[in-house]
């Protein structure tokens, strides 16, 4: 994640998500996690790869960049080692590799790699719908409609609208009862989006939800009004039921665009009016000067409403009304009946596609959804070519071995599952892992945490293990390509030569991944800076990639 960027939600991935439902690859159910549990990976990862760190000085380009940034060498961990982990191939560079540090979004490498390994690239999430009464020929449902979430990270507004359009296509027009939402797949503490850094309106601070819709965010589209010269037009996407947008912006004819959002004030608050369908009226107001030099701009905003289900209710009702649907009752929480029969299921994009958005654009809430999903009970695998489902014995055995519970997924369970997967994969022939104890501390799986941490040695072992795993192609393809896309596009010195995950927090700068050397050999590279001047040390991390590439 690049300096807590807003990019993950509303750039390229949003357009990708629109077509996910027609892009499912035909995959068979993923086999048991044999490569983790048999100890085969340990044969590749002998502890002797680097028993002691070299005492050699840092490469000159790296040392110079650190000096310029005012960052001491002991605030930095650096590691370059061969991807194959062969004992005869020691690390080319190992500096402070056992020092535990915060790694920011680089921690997503543990989450996404573990998910690919345990769930498999073809894993999908199902959002189920059940009828609570008879559906009449005239389209009326005499009773409630039940909607059950399973943690889909990619249920954005386009998919919500298509899901509901399929309800209409199946004959449903008028829900005479309530629309009841079952989000009990996750059992979570209350989420305060402002708790981490006080930026509660930033989409990167969204919390997980078993029925996460559109990442609980809206886009304010701001532009000079072509129909009314001198005026500014603001629209909100998607529409939320019961929300009135009040925009009072003054167009500035002169001056640069600059940081235009800093000059605007934004406020969300309840207002007077009748509560309808369980939804209270709210106002979203934005006011202030807007430079004409900015042209058209997007402002992604995390919705701040009344409780976890507020955004969900507003989006569902607005979308249903846009499709011509009617609702007689409220939209509220409700348990899925034990005897309910699934009427329809929305099937997500497969995991192999979703990890690309998580890693390339460092999407925090998607990573948190994936983290919790690994603690869910075994779920069906859907063959996208036929839409038929099949529960496999191997999936159930895999989930049981990893420690997934039979009830709702919790953070503690997710931490235990991912920790076990990583430690088994990084164990040597004697069962000792480089990721034991403080070498790997997980919190929410996204890296947006001051608790999550690891060291370069553990992460390097994990990257070696993923290189040796059956899901290596999907894992590497999910990483940003330096100089070309995602959060690594600014790393031009090794453009097209590395797949790198980056991470940023205040006082933290990190990157990790795979670099192709001039010799054609590939290297695992890890670089982490923990220092108040960490952001200024980014040229040193870029120099690390350049040094790793020059292996001849």
- pLDDT for 49: 45
Q: Are residues 275 and 325 in the same domain?
A: yes
Question: Could you tell me if 329 and 176 are in contact, meaning their C-beta atoms sit under 8 angstroms apart?
Answer: yes
Residue 530, classed as helix, strand or coil, is strand
Q: Are residues 205 and 309 in the same domain?
A: yes
Judge residue 122's burial from the number of C-beta atoms within 10 Å of its C-beta, 0-12 exposed, 13-18 middle, 19 or more buried: buried
Number of residues in the chain:
552
Question: Could you tell me if 215 and 156 are in contact, meaning their C-beta atoms sit under 8 angstroms apart?
Answer: yes
| Number of structural domains found in the chain | 2
Q: Are residues 333 and 374 in the same domain?
A: no
Q: Are residues 264 and 149 in the same domain?
A: yes
Domain finish residue from 347, 374, 396:
347
Q: Are residues 393 and 534 in the same domain?
A: yes
Domain finish residue from 298, 324, 347:
347
Q: Which domain holds residue 33?
A: 7-49+58-123+349-549
CATH for 400: 3.40.710.10
Residue 1 within any structural domain of the chain? no
Q: At what angle do helices 364-373 and 108-118 cross, to 10 degrees?
A: 40
Tell me the mean pLDDT per 10 residues along the chain, length 552. Answer: 37 37 34 41 43 68 98 98 80 97 99 98 98 98 98 98 98 98 97 96 98 98 95 97 97 96 96 93 98 98 92 98 98 97 98 98 99 83 34 40 70 98 95 97 98 98 98 98 97 98 98 98 98 98 98 87
Q: Are residues 141 and 167 in the same domain?
A: yes
- pLDDT for 404: 52
- pLDDT for 346: 98
Residue 2 within any structural domain of the chain? no
Q: Are residues 134 and 179 in the same domain?
A: yes
Residue 527, classed as helix, strand or coil, is strand
- pLDDT for 180: 99
- pLDDT for 57: 81
- List the alpha helices (DSSP H) in 1-140: 7-10, 12-18, 34-37, 40-44, 60-69, 108-118
Q: Are residues 471 and 492 in the same domain?
A: yes
Q: Are residues 178 and 289 in the same domain?
A: yes
Sheet strands (E) in 170-242: 174-175, 179-182, 217-224, 232-237
Domain finish residue from 298, 319, 347:
347
- pLDDT for 378: 64
Residue 342 within any structural domain of the chain? yes
- pLDDT for 42: 43
CATH for 342: 3.50.80.20
CA triplet 249, 11, 513: central angle to 5 degrees? 135
Residue 72 within any structural domain of the chain? yes
CA of residue 214 relative to chain centroid, distance:
12
Residue 137, classed as helix, strand or coil, is coil
Q: Are residues 343 and 354 in the same domain?
A: no
Q: Are residues 324 and 355 in the same domain?
A: no
Judge residue 169's burial from the number of C-beta atoms within 10 Å of its C-beta, 0-12 exposed, 13-18 middle, 19 or more buried: exposed
Tokens of 461: 């072992």
Determine the longest span between alpha carbons in the chain, in angstroms: 79
**Residue in the structure block whose two tokens are 């996407």:** 237
Q: Are residues 17 and 103 in the same domain?
A: yes
């Amino acid at each position: 994640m690049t300096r807590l960027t807003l990019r993950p939600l509303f750039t390229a991935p949003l357009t990708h998500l629109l077509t996910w439902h027609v892009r499912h690859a035909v995959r068979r159910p993923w086999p048991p996690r044999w490569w983790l549990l048999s100890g085969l990976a340990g044969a590749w990862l002998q502890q002797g790869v680097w028993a002691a760190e070299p005492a050699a000085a840092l490469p000159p380009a790296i040392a110079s960049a650190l000096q310029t940034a005012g960052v001491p060498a002991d605030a930095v961990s650096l590691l370059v080692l061969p991807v194959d982990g062969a004992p005869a191939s020691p690390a080319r560079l190992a500096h402070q590799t056992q020092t535990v540090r915060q790694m920011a979004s680089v921690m997503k490498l543990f989450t996404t790699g573990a998910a690919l390994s345990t769930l498999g690239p073809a894993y999908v999430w199902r959002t189920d719908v059940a009828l609570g009464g008879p559906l009449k020929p005239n389209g009326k449902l005499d009773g409630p409609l039940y909607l059950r979430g399973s943690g889909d990270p990619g249920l954005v507004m386009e998919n919500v609208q298509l899901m509901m359009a399929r309800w209409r296509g199946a004959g449903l027009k008028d829900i005479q009862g309530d629309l009841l939402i079952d989000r009990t797949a996750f059992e979570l503490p209350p989420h305060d989006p402002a708790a981490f850094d006080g930026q509660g309106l930033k989409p990167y601070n969204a919390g997980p939800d078993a029925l996460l819709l559109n990442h609980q965010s809206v886009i304010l589209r701001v532009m000079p009004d072509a129909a009314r010269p001198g005026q500014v037009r603001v629209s909100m996407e998607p529409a939320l039921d019961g929300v009135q947008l009040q925009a009072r912006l003054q167009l500035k004819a002169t001056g640069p665009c600059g940081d235009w959002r800093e000059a605007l004030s934004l406020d969300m608050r309840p207002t007077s009016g009748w509560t309808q369908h369980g939804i209270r009226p709210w106002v979203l107001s934005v006011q202030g000067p807007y430079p004409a030099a900015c042209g058209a701009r997007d402002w992604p905003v995390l919705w701040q409403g009344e409780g976890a289900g507020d955004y969900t209710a507003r989006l569902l009702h607005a979308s249903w009304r846009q499709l011509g649907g009617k609702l007689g009752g409220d939209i509220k929480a409700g348990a899925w009946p034990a005897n309910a029969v699934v009427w329809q299921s929305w099937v997500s994009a497969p995991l192999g596609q979703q990890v690309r958005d998580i890693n390339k654009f460092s999407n925090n809430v998607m990573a948190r959804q994936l983290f919790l999903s690994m603690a869910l009970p075994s779920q069906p695998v859907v063959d996208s070519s036929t839409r038929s489902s099949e529960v496999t014995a191997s999936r159930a055995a895999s989930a049981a071995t990893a420690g997934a519970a039979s009830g709702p997924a919790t953070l503690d369970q997710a931490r235990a599952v991912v920790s076990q997967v990583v430690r088994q994969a990084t164990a040597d022939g004697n069962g000792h892992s480089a990721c034991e104890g403080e070498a790997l501390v997980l919190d929410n799986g996204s890296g947006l945490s001051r608790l999550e941490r690891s060291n370069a040695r553990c992460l390097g072992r994990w990257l070696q293990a993923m290189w040796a795993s059956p899901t290596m192609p999907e894992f590497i393809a999910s990483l940003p390509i330096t100089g070309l896309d995602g959060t690594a596009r600014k790393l031009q010195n090794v453009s097209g030569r590395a797949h790198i995950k980056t991470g940023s927090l205040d006082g933290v700068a990190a990157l990790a991944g795979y670099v192709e050397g001039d010799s054609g050999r590939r290297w695992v590279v890890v670089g982490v800076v923990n220092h108040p001047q960490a952001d200024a040390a980014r040229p040193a991390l870029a120099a690390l990639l350049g040094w790793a590439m020059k292996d001849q």
